[in-house]
Structure 1
């Protein structure tokens, strides 16, 4: 929502900055020629061209294009689709598509493929108009080719959905709530079946994991806070229907819209409101709060206040609300995008050296004069909107610090900024920013959390306030280092006792290997391996964690006595999030691309540390949305999972930057293939493992997960003694 690269994704990952730059240079001559001729392409046309070029270059199997304004004249009409859908039709873009739903529907119908019927959730007059243009497969709650029904909420963030077609049946849960999203799920299923041989289980799993930030996204509790990008009357009506499902005392609305929208109809379709805080999204098209104020005063009985800056409006509204109230932030995706910064922006502490200056943290930047770095100076990297970045840079220079801003024009998107100065200079900067409004004030709060000398006290482990060694106990026949050694229960229990005596603070039991090429095992087989061991260790003083991807295994393990779950998929399965929330146990949330590891999957990072922090931030939002307490989350950057050897070393070298996430940090590097980078084969990795443990401990890793406990515990003690002494 804040990065243009989010609009072009492959396998769920946005394209890298380097790839985007290469693609832009590829189309730049054509854009320049068209512009010189007075026929410059729109931003959407340029992005469509970039996306198609990217998909072609990556040789993707399936490319999905979302239209802009509609059908006949849309930029996406340059392709010949194998399958197409019109989800619904409402009065929008009337200046281009027509003044009635019938006219708009006929235009949108032009996306229909040549060889397949158009899939649609349109109804009544709009459906009749589409039928005049093409054959269709209809999706709806009744009188449709594919029938969809919702069976109600199964949690505050998910509802059960049933989809029935001729000869097939799908039951699943959606985190995208509402009748309209259930119909969209039916449309997606029909599309997939038109061009791929997908079975019901695959479809159910895919829908189950679908996530769409800013679409009735619950981001906080006590009070419950919802982000929803409703930006037209129809979307506001759907929002009102969703709000009716929840129990709350008062409803507080934060609303910012674009000036070319039908504000009166939007307000009329919203749910009954107690208070409204009006703001203006930071775009040229943003409607003034004063304009909106007249509409709300005439159409509602709510108490209306004007707070121009989005983040100020959000903060004041949340502060005013009681724990049992509901806060809804809506009116425009631009408004939601700015509001979401409150939960996603995490300034990252950086380390400079004689060979690494600010511009190395911000490739291509030339703004700002960089002074020599000294030991006492601090460096923090963050992002904000362009005007905010310029003001922040000016303020940092005015108090004696230095700064660099990305040369990339972010328009309404984020751009990067790096700040450099002494602790005193940052303190002074924060004091100035706290007196400002909007984004600057919000950045002040975030900078203060980074600078707080005692902030490590917030990263308290569930079992200790000190660094801990986690001993690995694989009860598997095929794990990469010790597979088969502890498959017998007696051997496993004996090994756990040995590790505890040698200094293990935690025992991590694994019943399924995630090494490259590992064969998956059933939940029953995994439980047969681990439950007897968990039960035997239940009376020991050492906490037991279970390394599993499966919700059923996690649930049974906790009930058998396990103290925490270690999920190397990063809670990818929504059911796992629900289990952790239900039992309120600590969880290790790891960054991974594939589990088991797929050595053939190529992943490009712009900056592996910053990209992993960004991904983990989104995973943490999903975890908290499911009801998991932030204090129960331990994060793991995922050494060896979707990273090269060099990237793994960089993650460890820059562990301090993960303090931006304000959660305990676990590192698992033991005997991994990254050590081939330093000429150590599979049988020669103890020494580099121990050396890396010392480095990770020195960089304040909270938990270090290893096979060889005694040697690594000694390395941790040395690192701690050095830190305490010097």
Structure 2
């Protein structure tokens, strides 16, 4: 059965826009200003292309845009804080000036602080507050914090990750990290959680997370599902990186049916159409119009 999570604060203002997670599934568009991101391989590395990609994703229906300057993978060259700032801040400033809700994918407090000053409304921390100062930076602002599960430090390999019960362990981790964030001054109504598909996990782990997503949504916070084009998609159905759209939409739909309210997706237009249909099926929104068998 579809799952409607018991959200404590479903209506939130993020980056100046009101989101009602009791009635909408938000698609987060992705702009990677890196020459070596796993999916686009540098297609949006140039500043003008990065800003244009954010504009296009917004026009296609993305609720907000996630900007990243450092890939999660440890198998790419290290990026200094100065280089990360040079990559992400101009994109944040350019999009925020046009009223776009922007999040920044970073684990560094110095980058988070500068991004918020430039107009970012969300800090997307894939390290799960490995550096607690990141919570302090968010607490001193009006920004929202995304807390993601990852078992290893940023830029460090976790070879052959093992879990006794991957979902239970992720849930416990997120509860602990949310408690840390709130203790350092981040209100619960400005926290989103993410189980971290593929981050220090193998394909079986990511499939288990997808099947049991409701156990994470049951925590009462909006949950983000970042499944787009990931390795677990390709390995599950034997598809190369450029061929995973339909399979990614299937994974995102299962997550949404089990309580995900934010979907981080590369192909925004198709993802928004899928999200609107899921909303209609769940009864979160009325059909756009009624004509069939109505006369």
Q: Same fold (TM over 0.5)?
A: yes
Structure-2 separation of matches of 1:627 and 1:682: 40
Q: Aligned pair 1:499/2:57, yes or no?
A: yes
Label 1:704 to 1:620 Cα distance change in 2 as closer, same or farther (>3 A).
same
Which of 199, 208, 213 matches 1:650? 208
The alpha carbon displacement at 1:458 in A equals 2.8
Other structure's SS at 1:455 match: coil
Structure-1 separation of matches of 2:265 and 2:50: 16
The alpha carbon displacement at 1:697 in A equals 1.9
Could you list the per-position Cα deviations for residues 439-496 of structure 1 after superposition, in whole angstroms to 9, with x for gaps in the alignment?
A: xxxxxxxxxxxxxx88335343443002200000000111100131111111111111
The alpha carbon displacement at 1:700 in A equals 2.2
Other structure's SS at 1:589 match: strand
Q: Aligned pair 1:481/2:32, yes or no?
A: no
Structure-1 separation of matches of 2:155 and 2:213: 22
The alpha carbon displacement at 1:544 in A equals 0.4
Structure with larger Rg: 1
Q: Aligned pair 1:464/2:19, yes or no?
A: yes
Label 1:572 to 1:542 Cα distance change in 2 as closer, same or farther (>3 A).
same
Structure-2 separation of matches of 1:688 and 1:478: 23
Is the Cα–Cα contact under 8 Å of residues 27 and 265 in structure 2 kept in the other structure?
Answer: yes
Other structure's SS at 2:147 match: strand
The alpha carbon displacement at 1:658 in A equals 1.1
Other structure's SS at 1:661 match: coil
Is the Cα–Cα contact under 8 Å of residues 634 and 663 in structure 1 kept in the other structure?
Answer: yes
Q: Aligned pair 1:723/2:274, yes or no?
A: no
Structure-1 separation of matches of 2:258 and 2:5: 16
Structure-2 separation of matches of 1:527 and 1:617: 30
**Number of residue pairs matched by the alignment:** 277
What is the aligned partner in structure 1 of residue 116 from structure 2? 558
Q: Aligned pair 1:610/2:161, yes or no?
A: no
The alpha carbon displacement at 1:523 in A equals 1.0
Which of 511, 515, 518 matches 2:69? 511
Structure-2 separation of matches of 1:593 and 1:600: 8
Is the Cα–Cα contact under 8 Å of residues 123 and 145 in structure 2 kept in the other structure?
Answer: yes
Which of 524, 540, 545 matches 2:98? 540
**Gaps (5+ residues) in structure 1?**
1-350, 352-374, 376-452
Could you list the per-position Cα deviations for residues 69-97 of structure 1 after superposition, in whole angstroms to 9, with x for gaps in the alignment?
A: xxxxxxxxxxxxxxxxxxxxxxxxxxxxx
**Gaps (5+ residues) in structure 2?**
287-295
Could you list the per-position Cα deviations for residues 128-182 of structure 1 after superposition, in whole angstroms to 9, with x for gaps in the alignment?
A: xxxxxxxxxxxxxxxxxxxxxxxxxxxxxxxxxxxxxxxxxxxxxxxxxxxxxxx
What do you get for the CA RMSD once the two structures are aligned? 2.2
Could you list the per-position Cα deviations for residues 278-304 of structure 1 after superposition, in whole angstroms to 9, with x for gaps in the alignment?
A: xxxxxxxxxxxxxxxxxxxxxxxxxxx
Is the Cα–Cα contact under 8 Å of residues 513 and 596 in structure 1 kept in the other structure?
Answer: no
Structure with greater contact order relative to length (CA < 8 Å, sep ≥ 6): 2
Other structure's SS at 1:628 match: coil
Label 1:711 to 1:454 Cα distance change in 2 as closer, same or farther (>3 A).
closer
Structure-1 separation of matches of 2:25 and 2:170: 22
Which of 598, 619, 623 matches 2:177? 619
Is the Cα–Cα contact under 8 Å of residues 92 and 119 in structure 2 kept in the other structure?
Answer: yes
Other structure's SS at 1:634 match: strand
Q: Aligned pair 1:639/2:190, yes or no?
A: no
Structure-2 separation of matches of 1:478 and 1:659: 32
After TM superposition, the score normalised by the length of structure 2 is 0.88
The alpha carbon displacement at 1:583 in A equals 1.5
The alpha carbon displacement at 1:567 in A equals 0.5
